[in-house]
Amino acid sequence: MSDLEERTFIAIKPDGVQRGLIGEVIKRFEQKGFKLVGMKMLQVRICNQLSPASQELLHNHYADLSTKGFFPSLIAYMSSGPVVAMVWEGKGVVKTGRVMLGATNPADSAPGTIRGDYCIHVGKNVIHGSDSVESAEQEISLWFQPSELVSYKSCAFNWLYE
Ligand code: DAT
Ligand code: MG
């Protein structure tokens, strides 16, 4: 796979959706030049067999944090409303995406980053982004079926890359 086809998993968390930040987040990634290749809105409902996603999804997604004291509240927060799950593609999108998000704790996030500009508390930090190419691949396969992702050449490609 070409390095221009690197992909990351970005999710607007329930607070980001409720606070009307979906468009702002998409705008920032679009205007940077990254390409949207998958997107869906879903609510992870705990203890609801009929839901499109289950508690298991969040437990897998945050498996590395399962021993942390804040884990139960993190799962409750992430399932408290709809999230917008997206896959963005482009050269260096994983690392650059993390820079665009800002530090995990908004108190430490630089102004100009999404968390730096739009939130205050670590428990309501608006957005998720994969922290490595490997975790991006794992998270994308957790949240999306291969058939839900698209491949296409952006008409802006030649104006973004050389
Ligand atoms: P990030 O989301 O920047 O990758 P992470 O993977 O370490 O950060 O943690 C995942 C989420 O868990 C984070 O976005 C918010 C929550 N979280 C992390 N540390 C926390 C803490 N000390 N208290 C409360 N929530 C925390
Ligand atoms: Mg993380």
Q: What is the pLDDT of residue 52?
A: 47
What's the 129 CA to ligand 2 centre distance in angstroms?
Answer: 7
Instruction: With both helix axes pointing from N to C terminus, report the angle between 22-32 and 93-101 in degrees, rounded to the nearest 10.
Output: 140
Tell me the three state secondary structure of residue 99: helix
3-state secondary structure the chain: CCHHHCEEEEEECHHHHHCCCHHHHHHHHHHHCCEEEEEEEECECCCCCCCCECHHHHHHHCHHHCCCCCHHHHHHHHCCCCEEEEEEECCCHHHHHHHHHCCCCHHHCCECEHHHHHCCCHHHCCEEECCCHHHHHHHHHHHCCHHHCCCCCCCCHHHHCC
Based on the residue annotation, tell me whether 128 is a catalytic residue of this protein.
yes
The tokens of 39 are what?
């997107």
pTM value is: 0.95
Give me the catalytic one of 59, 61, 121, 128: 128
Per-residue pLDDT of the chain (162 residues; tens, 9 = 90+): 899 999 999 999 999 999 999 999 999 999 999 999 999 999 987 655 545 456 789 999 999 999 999 999 999 999 999 999 999 999 999 999 999 999 999 999 999 999 999 999 999 999 999 999 999 999 999 999 999 999 999 999 999 999
As annotated, the binding site for ATP includes 13, 70, 98, 104, 115, 125
Q: Which of 65, 66, 99, 105 to mutate to test the pocket of ligand 1 (most atoms within 8 A of CB)?
A: 65
pLDDT of residue 130: 98
Pocket of ligand 1 (CB under 6 A): 65, 70, 74, 104, 122-123, 125, 128, 131
Phi, psi of 45 (to 5 degrees): -95, 125
Please report the pLDDT score of residue 71 as a whole number: 96
pLDDT for 62? 97
Spell out the domains of the chain, with CATH numbers in brackets. Answer: 7-150 (3.30.70.141)
Which neighbouring-strand residues pair with 10?
86, 129
**Angstrom distance (rounded) from CA 146 to CA 123:** 31
